[in-house]
């Protein structure tokens, strides 16, 4: 009889320990932050990527260095001013995106920049004239003519190809390039990559609403993980 009671006590203790461990495990999982926010079309980098060194000029012809990336958030788009389609529609989407941010009760500060992949034609003056068509406070950036920018572009994952046209004009060419936007954090590192949506016909375009939602989720996630 005594042995039977001892067995029941051991079983009860064992069940109690199992229950406690299960509760602790469940509680721990609830407290443990997820590795990344759930996004629709952006890729979040849990370990922000360091960018290669660069020496650029802005649309005013002034130097732009890595130190100027620090201290604030930056949304960087890429393209070239002679682009006939995706580049102007991307900038138009950024205009709508910025307008949505401005309507927030407590707008989060975000800077914008457009990096040209065609520095031969996109001089500071050309960038300034082109960006003036878009009602957005956006900085134009270009590699210096005497410096290669491959390392910087590769650190962002940019792919491009110059496609010459069969005409006498040496400046009549197009630039085939990857279509992404890049979120740079206040430490000057790549925090997220935003991908465009693609229609059934293969046309790529950024949806400003999706862009807004993913961006807000990233900022909220980072604020909550501090």
pLDDT of residue 19: 44
Q: What is the mean pLDDT of each run of 10 residues along the chain (226 residues)?
A: 46 42 38 71 96 94 95 96 93 96 88 95 96 97 82 92 72 86 98 91 89 96 84
pLDDT at 176: 87
Note the pLDDT of residue 167: 65
Residue 42 pLDDT: 96
**pLDDT at res. 204:** 87
Predicted local distance difference test score (pLDDT) of residue 206 = 95
Residue from 100, 187, 185, 162 nearest 136 by CA: 100
Q: What is the pLDDT, as a whole number, of residue 168? A: 66
CA distance 103 to 101: 5
Q: Give residue 172's pLDDT.
A: 76
pLDDT of residue 162: 83
Nearest 10 degrees: Cα torsion 187, 70, 209, 137: 180
pLDDT at position 150: 87
Helix (H) or strand (E) holding 182, with range, is strand 181-184
Q: What CATH code would you report for 42-224?
A: 3.40.30.10
Residue 139 CA to residue 8 CA, distance in Å, equals 75
Residue ranges at the known binding site for Cu cation: 83, 87, 177
The binding site consists of 83, 87, 177
């Amino acid at each position: 009889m005594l042995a039977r009671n001892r067995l029941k006590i051991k079983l009860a203790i064992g069940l109690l320990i199992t229950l406690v461990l299960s509760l602790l495990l469940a509680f721990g999982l609830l407290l443990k932050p997820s590795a990344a926010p759930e996004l629709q079309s952006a890729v979040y980098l849990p370990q922000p990527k360091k960018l290669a060194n660069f020496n650029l000029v802005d649309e005013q012809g002034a130097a732009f260095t890595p130190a100027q990336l620090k201290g604030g958030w930056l949304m960087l788009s890429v393209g070239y001013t002679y682009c006939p389609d995706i580049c102007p529609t991307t900038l138009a989407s950024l205009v709508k995106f910025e307008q949505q941010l401005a309507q927030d009760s407590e707008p989060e500060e975000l800077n914008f920049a457009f990096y040209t992949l065609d520095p031969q034609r996109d001089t500071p003056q050309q960038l300034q004239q082109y960006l003036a068509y878009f009602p957005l406070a956006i900085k134009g950036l270009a590699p210096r003519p005497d410096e290669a920018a491959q390392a910087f572009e590769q650190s962002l994952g940019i792919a491009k190809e110059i496609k010459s046209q069969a005409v006498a004009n040496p400046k009549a060419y197009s630039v085939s390039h990857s279509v992404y936007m890049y979120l740079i954090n206040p430490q000057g590192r790549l925090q997220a990559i935003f991908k465009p949506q693609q229609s059934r016909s293969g046309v790529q375009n950024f949806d400003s609403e999706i862009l807004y939602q993913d961006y807000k989720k990233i900022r909220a996630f980072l604020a909550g993980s501090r």
